[in-house]
Amino acid sequence: MPHYLVSWGDPRDRLYDVTIRFTAPNDIPRLLLPAWRPGRYLIQNYAANVREWGGSHRVWKDGKTSWRAGARAGEAVTVTYRYYAGILDAGSSFLDDDEAYINGTNLFMLVEGLRGEEHRLTIAAPAEWRIETQLPRVILSREDGEGPPADSASSVLAPGVPRCARDDTSFLARDYDHLLDSPVIAAAAMTRYTFSEGGARFHLIFRGGEGIDTEQFVEPTRVIARTQAELFGGLPFREYRFLYHVRDKWHGVEHEDSCSIIVKRSALFDAEGYDHLLLIAAHELFHAWNVKRIVPAKFAPYDYWTETPTRLLWAMEGLTSYYGALSLVRGGIWTVARYLEHLRKEIETLEALPARLHLPLSQAGFDGWLSDPAQMHDHPNAWYSFYTKGEIVSALLDLTIRTASNGTKSLDDVMRLLWEQRILEEDAVERAVAQVADTGDFFARYVDGVEPLPYAELFAAAGVAFASRPRAGSSLGAKVKMADGLLIAENVIRGGAGMAAGLLPNDELLSLDGTRTASEAALATALRAFRIGDSAELLVVRAGVVKRLSLEGRPDPRPEITLRAAQPNEFRRGWLHVSS
């Protein structure tokens, strides 16, 4: 079986030493490194971080992300290479003096022809470190000859790094895909809470949570797990790990029996951060069903080397976001008002984006591979998140099914049908919905089309009043930011006063109607005195030249949304599983 050993010398260079030992399945075996990872549907070219090859045979490149080893079929081959691991997000790999964080998609090459075989992984971490991963540990016995070769750790560890001779540093993946799907944290210090729920053991593991009450997340997590298990009639695993890094941003990635979540430390000291952590946890746990085990046929198996567009991404992410938030209100962690405030914000985000008028939801996911903000021109006008619209459309679809079936059926029934199918053809969600209730042309209008979403009518059935109003006062219709002490138009929204006046992204804003606009606050003050219908001179600097634009006062193209629960309502009780 292929054996992957990860070690490192001086962590200051951020370089992992990866050793792969395998028996060549054919002459001139091929090694392939993924170009993207499940959960982030964008080419990321991990091969750019690979360097310094060595081992038993000559190795040469034969493609952007593939290599060949000069071995004959049946020969024992050892290849070594180094991998630069300098970024810590949920899907990356990172090396520091007190932590090794590894996502196999970044740095484990497939030996072509061995994908379906069991894969062994050994992490040569310092002896006093702990290792957390969803992979089962290998119980090594010295007699079976299957342990790490006697020279494996010592030959690649630099002097001075403690060698780990314990037997709990080796893990067994059932195949290459399982190896890739299993992030590993090896670290000197981690906090771990364990509880049992629904016949499974859950572990909450925190890196860097010092000074924060991380234990407060244990009981709500149990409630989330119980609520989601109820929907599907049980949990799909016996053991599950939440791997948390407390850092400086939010990010989460789902896996089969674990998830990896980056938490924004500064946010954890208020109620909003507490809610956000649980919202991400609930989202990632729901993925243990939706996307990890209910999988688009296009991803079965994953092609890690090529873009794989599917029209189902809105359902993979949108249904997951919908049920993630729903499990907080259904579990009693959130009140109805808190849940409606969450939905309101999502709706306000979507309704502010001009792309909702021309980009169908199924296409937004299909085209996700083109959505890198660094590469996409006019991102704010051309794009919206299929997570956001996917969640909103999931909510409206649920309300449609409940209305059409007089409350006897729901989106929960659709999820259970998808859970029976597991592998989804491109039209599987639409077909499952049709099996449950007659929702008319819902998909043609709101999933594959761009019709305005029927909020008011659908929320009314649940006793929730929806309103969309223009914002008071005039607006520039642009997002501004400070850069190097200058106020810059970061983007200009279609339909707003700025675009009508000819304002372009990257213009520096100098003054409005003679008032200096040297900061965001100064611009806001100048706009307050500027009424709808007024005309004024807007001075900007474009490519070093001062330009005079004529700005006409217009309302902000982004509406203000309100969602309010009226008197208690039977429909709403059935939807949100609440008693009032």
Q: Which residues bind Zn ion (CB under 5 A)?
A: 317
CB of 42 to Zn ion, least distance (A): 14
CB closer to Zn ion out of 317 and 412: 317
Least distance to Zn ion from the beta carbon of 280, Å? 9
**Least separation in angstroms between CB 398 and Zn ion:** 18
Q: Which is nearer to Zn ion, 40 or 222 (CB)?
A: 40
Q: Evaluate whether 371 touches 382 at the Cβ level (below 8 Å).
A: no
* C-alpha dihedral, 439 to 440 to 444 to 450, nearest 10°: -80
Q: How far is the CB of 252 from Zn ion (least distance, A)?
A: 7
Say how far apart CA 501 and CA 140 lie, in whole Å: 71
The least CB distance from residue 283 to Zn ion, in Å, is: 6
Using alpha carbons only, what angle is made at residue 379 by residues 376 and 385, rounded to the nearest 5 degrees?
Answer: 110
Residue 425 to residues 69, 269, 422, 438: CA-CA distances in angstroms?
A: 38, 44, 10, 20
d(CA 142, CA 120): 16
Residue 535, judged by CB atoms within 10 A of its CB (0-12, 13-18, 19+), counts as exposed
Whichever of 288 and 480 has its CB closer to Zn ion, that residue is: 288
Residue nearest to Zn ion (CB): 317
Q: Smallest distance from the beta carbon of 133 to Zn ion, in angstroms?
A: 20
The phi, psi pair for 95, rounded to 5°, reads -135, 130
DSSP 251-304: EEEE-SSEEEEEEEGGGGGSHHHHHHHHHHHHHHHHTTTBTTTBEEGGGSS--T
Task: Give least dist CB 320 to Zn ion, A.
Answer: 5
Q: Which two tokens stand for residue 338?
A: 């808190």
Instruction: Tell me how far, at minimum, the Cβ of 387 lies from Zn ion, in Å.
Output: 7
Identity of the residue, 317 or 346, whose beta carbon is nearer to Zn ion in the bound complex: 317
Please say which residue, 89 or 317, places its beta carbon nearer to Zn ion: 317
Nearest approach in angstroms of CB 288 to Zn ion is: 11
Which tokens go with 27? Answer: 């002459």
155: helix, coil or strand?
helix
The CA angle 93-89-363, to the nearest 5 degrees, is 110
* 427 phi/psi in degrees, rounded to 5: -105, 15
Closest CA to 347 of 458, 426, 188: 458
Separation CA 434–CA 400 (nearest Å): 12
Q: Between 126 and 236, whose beta carbon lies closer to Zn ion?
A: 236
Cα-Cα end-to-end distance for the chain: 58
